[in-house]
Amino acid sequence: MYTIEENKDITSFTTFGLPVRARWFVEYASQRELLHLSRQDLFINNEVLQIGGGSNLLFMGDYDGLVIHSAIKGIKRYDKNADTTYVIAGAGEKWTDFVEWCVDRGLSGIENLAGIPGEVGASAVQNVGAYGVEAGDRIHALECFDCQTRNVVNFRADECEFAYRDSFFKNAGRGRYIVLRVSFRLDPDGRARNLEYGPLKSFAQRLGHEPSLREVADEVKRIRAEKLPDPAEIGSAGSFFKNPMISQRYFDELHRQHPDMPGFPLENGRVKLSAAWLIDHSGLKGCRRGGAEVYRKQPLVIANRGNASAEDVAALAREVRRRVRAQFRVDLHPEVNYIDTTIRVTVLGSGTSKGVPEVNCDCHTCTSPYKKDKRTRASVMVSVGGMSLLIDASPDFRAQALREEIHDVDAVLITHSHYDHVGGFDDLRPFCGEKALPVYVRADVNDALHRRLDYCFNGPHYPGAPRFDMRVIENNPFYIRGVKVEPIEVLHGKLPIFSYRIGRFAYVTDAKYISEVEKEKLEGLDVLIVNALMKDNHFAHFTLQEALDLIAEVKPKQAYLTHFNHEMPRHYDLKRELPPNVHPAYDGLKIEIK
């Protein structure tokens, strides 16, 4: 039976070499042990993180929850016919050992993936890839444990939503399904077929004969050893960034300026760029932040030079993204998963549709000399999981972004289509580059924005106009690069709009009514930000008392009031009226939720 370990040092379960502890740690060796564990209060009442070999994880601090690790082993071979062999491997098998097992038996299909650290289960979740091959190309099926039903379920490959370094299990299935075993479909003829990518193109010619599986696997490992640091000597997560994909049109434009820029045409008409080339030609090779360094032999790697902190690595990654975007207007996205239970919120704006002070008003609040009474239109930035998520782009977004020195916006969440929440859309263009910026909206908001911003969506693309990837959402949880976002439907007068919950934080604005069902989504919060327009009744917004009533009902640890108009008392006067755990928000307020 498994053992529960407290305050466990899990540094050895990662490849970055950054010191990290888990509040609890369990290694299970069978489906039966996992089932037993899933019924325990420890599993039910805490954040649970399944890890593999830790080769794509960046822990931003100690993990205040339960970390579990699979020790399910075993490899079995089933020959279907002369052309196809299925191999089933336990999720806890080392990926390098599994590839070697297949190569030694003349089973072809994954030899290009030799030398990649990690484990079999994680290979399917991450859809690992190298030299023109991805694990998803050869996966036949997955056997998984459903943490909700506690049943074992099977997924066919076409149900796994494999994409470039992505899968269903990193998004909608994250946290619910744990991989137990993976079935691969391989070729028993022993022929190496994938030799058209990168340095393998000339391999057969250099050898003078068609290479064997063993020769290909050994060559891949040799190439990797030349480029990538040995985690036993220099901590890293291997490739830190994904190779970006851009349109053929923009690649042609870049290629005219940089004739030596490599590009790999894709079947969908786009072109995959080399992130390593972009980083190198942005002058970043050898760039350091604290103990973290852009590796000189392979700039796609961020290396721990022995004394790096997680924040050093994250800061360097931000600098790499900023410099590449400035040089090429191409955004890089991390391949590494940030494990961070901390949520950082910046209140960009805390005022209502007219802002405070209002134009041509000499009331007590509008003439206040205090900085905290200068309120731009409502919006917040949420930093979580290595991403910056913007909730609403107000007409004041440009000034807010300059004030807060915002360099990254990875996605935008929109509450509704009223101008004071979307009037800054055009100012998002610096965060689009060639790649469209993901925007999550209700269907009605999507329609409204298409009408209002027709130059972004219709006809030939206006030069310099922002590009948006509009993703229509319903009132169901969804994931942004592994971070769960839960919409909360509220009524703004009679208009249904969305508020959002991310972890133990929720942002509710422009609400007048929340149903009992939706209120349940606000339970267990550390921080709630909620609108409180003024003291007198309003047909479409919570009054101060209505906001306080909601706070008393859902009981967050701390609450902040926002979306004030000028009829609300000045900041310091209002603060004296509020309960100890309720505070008036203000522009520039920073909240950290650990």
Q: How many residues does the chain have?
A: 594
Which of 119, 134, 335, 434 is the catalytic position? 335
- Give residue 493's identity as a one-letter amino acid code: G
Closest CA to 376 of 353, 409, 360: 353
Q: Is 344 labeled as catalytic in the residue annotation?
A: no
Given the residues 108, 119, 143, 165, select the one marked as catalytic: 165
Q: Are 272 and 165 in contact (CB under 8 A)?
A: no
CB 464 within 8 A of CB 429: yes
Cα 112 to Cα 133: distance, rounded to the nearest angstrom: 7
Is 239 tagged catalytic? yes
Query: Residue 354: how many CB atoms within 10 A of its CB?
Result: 14
How large is the C-alpha radius of gyration of the chain? 26
Euclidean distance between CA atoms 392 and 412, whole angstroms = 7
Kindly report whether the peptide bond that precedes residue 357 is cis, defined as omega within 30 degrees of 0: yes
Q: What SS3 class is residue 251?
A: helix
Catalytic, out of 108, 239, 368, 499: 239
Number of helices followed by number of strands (H, E) in the chain: 17, 34
Asked whether the beta carbons of 13 and 53 are under 8 A apart, the reply is yes
Token pair listed for 427: 């100012």
Q: Which residues pair with 483 in a beta bridge?
A: 480
> With b meaning 16 or more CB within 10 Å and e meaning fewer, what string describes 335-349?
bbbbbbbebbbbbbb
Q: By the 8 A CB rule, do 239 and 279 touch?
A: no
Question: How far apart are the C-alpha atoms of 401 and 431, rounded to whole Å?
Answer: 11
Which residues are known to be catalytic? 165, 239, 335
